[in-house]
Amino acid sequence: MATVKRTPKVVIIGAGVAGITTAVTLQKAGFHDFLVLEKGGDVGGVWYWNHYPGLTCDVPSSLYQFSFAPNPDWSHIFAPGSEIQRYMSDVADKFNLRAHTRFDAEVVAANYTESGWHVTTADGTEYNADFVIAATGVLHHPSMPDIEGLESFEGDVVHTARWDDSLNTRGRRIAVIGTGSTGVQVVSALQREAARITHFVRTAQWVVWAPTGMPQLPLTGAVLRRLPRVNRAVYDTLLWGSGFLADITTKPTWRRRAVQGAVRASLRVQVRDRELREQLTPDYEPFCKRQVVSGSYYRAIRASNAELVNSKIERITPTGIVTADGRHHDVDLLIFATGFKAHNYMRPMNLRGRDGLSIDDAWDKGPRAYCMSAIPGFPNFFTVLGPNSPTASISLQYSSEVTARYIARWLERFRDGEISTVEVTEEATTRFNDGVADALGPTVWNTGCNSWYLTEGGTVDLWPYDRATLTRMLSKPDDRDYHLT
């Protein structure tokens, strides 16, 4: 007797890089009954939420794109954030994703019962689904330090990830706290117009020089648009070339040492002032933290209206910041570039799987998933760019696409009546995570620095393998690793 085909009903949470990729991949695989629930007012994820001055993608734009939406038209080699957000929006239009999306729809709960998933948004609406895919991103929840006296500050206060576009920055005395990729971009952007800019640096960062302000060569876009095959070849070449990053970060070879040597030399060449150079020199290896890339930061911090302060922040006063050396730094605008709670993933959502298991209980020792995408106890639930995703070494768009295709394989089997539920086994997840832990040993991220890559338990939450391994692991689900009904 022929099997009756079913149409899986899917809820995708989040419309950033991972959510857009998942939605388009499902469409391409013939699945159209999906709904994207997005907390923000538009697609884009980090590119929607972040619009601080100086925001630029520090990955070349020709690489920072979806394989299914090649775009040769970038104003700069490293495009500004607004342009990337426009690209994401154009992709959503091109693939008619808005018709499938509810905006301003924050998911507050998702519960699995025998009848499937029940997803609730903040306004109380409930959606039912056969499958839920969490594409909720890594860098979403801003981390705001609790510094004594902050509430007494009489000037303006802003976190970069929730920038207020009405803020005046010109001619002001600006303090920037934090020196990750964001802090470095903000200081570079605001220094010229500020009356004074003080950069509070708790831990110095290595900064790789790159032509981050360089326009794309004239006519490049026009030529590549006429020659889509060449455009595709350029993208494939860049993707292949990006394997170098995975190589130097995961393997302790002469190549890693050579690149690290170049990063150290770059600091020596660009900053001749010995005292400032000492302040800027980290006590850990280049690439241990998420590598900062900038062609303008060293120039900005050397400027006469700029100062780098290493002394610990003691407290905030109504008019500024007091550091451990007893100095009071007068400030009108206080900018927190203090990063994100990177290991929250879909939380604080009340996510409950089989038998009411909460994600907080499942992850009481830290986030874990099988192949970044499946969690024991959570049937018919997947993550895209979930735990151990290669946020430090491999294109996020590529990883999302591979993961979404992997999930689509399960949807096909559901559609064909082969399975009703799929849940990864505890054994497979433990085996995968043990392998990851071993492979993380020789990575550069494990060489003794503190970074957002580390979980509270001190483990590195990254992908320690190369792109070929990622592709192989996610090419075809292995039934032995799953409970199927």
Q: Residues in the site for ligand N01, rule: CB under 6 A?
A: 56-59, 139, 145, 177-183, 185, 202-203, 290, 313, 337-340, 450, 452
Residue 148 or 236 having the CB closest to ligand N01: 148
Residue 179 or 403 having the CB closest to ligand N01: 179
Residue 153 beta carbon to ligand N01: minimum distance, rounded to whole angstroms = 15
**Pairing state of beta strands 350-352 and 333-336?**
unpaired
Compute the distance between CA of residue 433 and CA of residue 165 in angstroms, rounded to an integer. 42
Residue 11 or 259 having the CB closest to ligand N01: 259
Residue 442 beta carbon to ligand N01: minimum distance, rounded to whole angstroms = 21
Residue 51 or 172 having the CB closest to ligand N01: 51
- 3-state DSSP assignment of residue 194: coil
Residue 254 beta carbon to ligand N01: minimum distance, rounded to whole angstroms = 26
Residue 89 or 121 having the CB closest to ligand N01: 89
Residue 50 or 373 having the CB closest to ligand N01: 50
Residue 380 or 451 having the CB closest to ligand N01: 451
- CA angle at 321 for the pair 320 and 327, rounded to the nearest 5°: 110
Residue 255 or 315 having the CB closest to ligand N01: 315
What residue type is assigned to position 176 of the chain? V
Token digits of residue 367: 């986030």
Question: Can the peptide bond before residue 72 be classed as cis, meaning omega within 30 degrees of 0?
Answer: no
Residue 132 beta carbon to ligand N01: minimum distance, rounded to whole angstroms = 26
Residue 42 beta carbon to ligand N01: minimum distance, rounded to whole angstroms = 18
CA-wise closest residue to 389 among 371, 410, 409, 363: 371
Contacts of residues 477-482 at CB distance under 8 Å and 24 or more positions apart, as own/partner, are 477/406, 477/409, 477/410, 478/428, 480/428, 481/370, 481/424, 481/425, 481/427, 481/428, 482/374, 482/422, 482/423, 482/424, 482/425, 482/428
Residue 50 or 121 having the CB closest to ligand N01: 50
Residue 13 beta carbon to ligand N01: minimum distance, rounded to whole angstroms = 20
Task: Return the bridge partners of 317, or none.
Answer: 320
**Burial track 297-316 (b if 16+ CB lie within 10 A, e otherwise):** bbebbbeeebbbbbbebbeb
Residue 182 beta carbon to ligand N01: minimum distance, rounded to whole angstroms = 3
Residue 39 beta carbon to ligand N01: minimum distance, rounded to whole angstroms = 18
Compute the distance between CA of residue 384 and CA of residue 400 in angstroms, rounded to an integer. 6
Strand segments, DSSP code E, in 304-372 are 306-309, 313-317, 320-323, 328-330, 333-336, 350-352
Compute the distance between CA of residue 257 and CA of residue 248 in angstroms, rounded to an integer. 8
Task: Return the bridge partners of 315, or none.
Answer: 322
Residue 450 beta carbon to ligand N01: minimum distance, rounded to whole angstroms = 6
Residue 165 or 364 having the CB closest to ligand N01: 165
Residue 435 beta carbon to ligand N01: minimum distance, rounded to whole angstroms = 24
Q: Could you give the C-alpha distances from 173 to 34, 156, 229, in angstroms and in order?
A: 49, 11, 50
Residue 203 beta carbon to ligand N01: minimum distance, rounded to whole angstroms = 3
Residue 22 beta carbon to ligand N01: minimum distance, rounded to whole angstroms = 20
CA-wise closest residue to 121 among 10, 11, 24, 20: 11
Nearest residue (beta carbon) to ligand N01: 180
The rounded Cα 415 to chain-centroid distance in angstroms is: 32
**Pairing state of beta strands 101-102 and 34-37?**
parallel
Tokens 């190369």, residue located: 466
Residue 112 or 452 having the CB closest to ligand N01: 452
CB 144 within 8 A of CB 341: no
Residue 27 or 279 having the CB closest to ligand N01: 279
Token digits of residue 115: 């009848």
Q: 424 Cβ partners below 8 Å, 6+ apart? A: 370, 374, 375, 376, 481, 482, 483
